[in-house]
Amino acid sequence: MAQKADKIAQNRAKKLRELIEYHRGLYHEKDAPEISDEAYDSLVSELIALEEKYPDLHTPDSPTQRIGGAPIESFVKVKHRVPQWSFDNVFNAEELKDWEAKIKRYLDRETDIRDYSLEYCVEHKIDGLKVVLTYENGVLAQGATRGDGVTGEDVTANLRTIDDIPLRLTKKINITLMGEAWLPQSELVRINKERESRGEPVFANTRNVAAGTLRQLDPKMVRERKLRFFAYDIGIIDSLNENVSNLENQMDELMLLRELGFKVNEHHLISKDTDSVISFYNEWERKRKKLPYGIDGLAVKVNNISLQVALGYTAKAPRYAVAFKFPAEQATTVVEDIVLQIGRTGVLTPVAILRPVFIDGSTVSRATLHNEDEIKRLDVRVGDTVILQKAGDVIPDIVRVLTELRTGKEKPYVFPRKVAECGGNGSIERIPGQAAYRCVFKNSASQQRRKLEYFVSKKAFDIDGFGKKIVEQLMSENLISSFADIFTLKKGDLMELEGFAELSADNLIKAIEKSKIVTFPRFIASLSISQVGEETAEDLSRNFGTLEVLRKARFEELEAIEGVGPIIAKSVTDWFSEAENKKLLDDLLKQIKVLPFEKTETSGKLSGRTFVLTGTLSSMSRDEAKKKIKSLGGDVSESVSKLTSYVVAGDDPGSKKDKAEKLGVKVLSETEFLNLI
């Protein structure tokens, strides 16, 4: 028996409908989206789940039943001869196989077709704007946008400016076909560069530009934007007296479209099973950023047209096709709690505990909130629905709070005065001049565990197989408590522990032995000195050459180094002057060898320039950007000074961008940075 929705579910569904309709209008009718496609899809998915759980919430006018948006008033409305559908989405291999099982059940139960063999035509799902073209006697008669699926907008004059759309076909036939108008990535870079020079806001992505361009009232402007077009489907065809082969499958349609003079995307696959579809998907998920156009997944269609007809449509989508979407980099979820996490230098980082959500290929249940100021900026509260962003290995971020979905029960977060994990009396303090808090007592067990975890990590000593779980296990067994203890471990110590066998114990001991020779920059980074990360460790190593010289460095010498400054200089001198740290170094140096810094002559187009990175880059990770800069002869620093050449500002840049502007340091957008490298 179906469940009936309670007031909480009713209210949530109502708010979701209102918010989805608002963003749908911005996206489809005004080409001015405020949130990403992935975040929008995530809201719709939540509403679908609610309506499935509580059927009484379902209404005929629910946005889950809509396909597109109403046409804007600036263009003549066009009623489509063929209804224009949106595909249902699947997001992983399991869901794709479920879709296949569903269409097999439909064919078996609802049709008389037997002994069929499923074959799939798989194409790139281009991230542009769907266009419907009508040709009469081989001549372009009309071009329209999809609109709401029944009625679109007549944009024929604009479409005539796109070179990929033939004004006359190679055959005199009547045909209505569908395709995608898209903008090359290179054109987006060019257009944004021009807009920046005029002080205008830049476009977020190629899809927005393509959609906005086709709605320009001046075809000359459309021509200047250099849109492209791929044809991919035929709705109605009347071959008249022309010799046109029978269209038995989807691939036949693509071949005919090419024969008629259209550009057809070259990257497609005919597959006998979903396994090869999944392999094709995995291949293009890796390679998609190298394409001149944007794709957000694959279009998977039953190849045989007679089977397409038999499968037909649901109320809102074809049964015979599905969009196999790439992992979303944004999604919506709910903040269930906010906790503090102690870092290796004692700094407290607020972390949002989330309702688990699948994003960018993995299930995420935590997101960093950075510091108290970030919590206030976002106004994020326990119970809030938020947009979460993740790209690759970057720690997930909350980029926006959907305040429209608040019920009034959400709780603001207040930093405590004491945190039990800080040890001692648990007191915390705000770091002078920063938005961060830290433990007053510096050697709590939690903090020491973090230090050891970083010490063995890839960014420091890089001990293969020595992960967080092993650190915690060895600490709990009192086998290690300091850095030096790691290098005194014996095979017998490990063999007594759960999860270790002879081979795994041997491998870890060999990895520890191999790591005993370490470069100077990695060694400095491994010590968890407050304010000293990878780039500062590199700067210190380059300027002082050896550990012996650095240990004796004066405050003035440190402060004078580009990228260091007074705060870092004080932190370094304080660390090396403490008796406890002197002993730590002496004990450690008995076990390992630190190689002196080897200066190499750097050359390249960025030689002599120093970069500071802030915010999130969409085209590459922070580490990839650093490697690229260094490969071209440039330097990367963690802090901004008058000697900094450029600050590269991605999405949600921090205080480094503000400091750069105050000092007159040039700030590069991601687009400008990509042009520079």
Q: Which residues are catalytic?
A: 125
87 is annotated as contributing to ligand binding = yes
Q: Would you say 123 is a known binding-site residue?
A: yes
What are the φ and ψ backbone dihedral angles of 618, each rounded to 5 degrees?
A: -85, -25
| Radius of gyration of the chain, Cα coordinates, nearest whole angstrom | 30
List the one residue out of 100, 125, 101, 121 whose CA is nearest residue 303: 121
Known binder of ligand: residue 576? no
DSSP state of 56: G
- 146 annotated among ligand-binding-site residues: yes
- Quote the CA–CA distance of 389 and 417 in Å, as a whole number: 30
Residue 326, annotated as binding a ligand: no
Nearest to 257 by CA among 162, 368, 171: 171
Least Cα distance to 431 among 423, 441, 439 occurs for 439
587 is known to lie in a ligand binding site: no
Beta-strand pair 120-126/295-302:
antiparallel
Q: Residues 146-149: contacts with CB within 8 Å, 24+ apart?
A: 146/67, 146/68, 146/84, 147/68, 147/69, 147/70, 147/71, 147/77, 147/78, 147/80, 147/84, 148/66, 148/67, 148/68, 148/69, 148/70, 148/71, 149/67, 149/68, 149/80, 149/83, 149/84, 149/85, 149/86
Q: Is 651 exposed, middle or buried (0-12, 13-18, 19+ CB in 10 A)?
A: middle
**Residue with token string 């002057």:** 577
DSSP string, 444-488: -HHHHHHHHHHHTSTTTT--TT--HHHHHHHHHTTS-SSHHHHTT
Tell whether 61 is in a known binding site. no
Confirm or deny that 41 is annotated as ligand binding: yes
CB count in 10 Å sphere of residue 532: 21
State yes or no: 40 annotated in a binding site: yes
- Return binding residues for Zn(2+): 422
- Return binding residues for NAD(+): 37-41, 86-87, 123, 146, 180, 301, 325
- Return binding residues: 37-41, 86-87, 123, 146, 180, 301, 325, 422
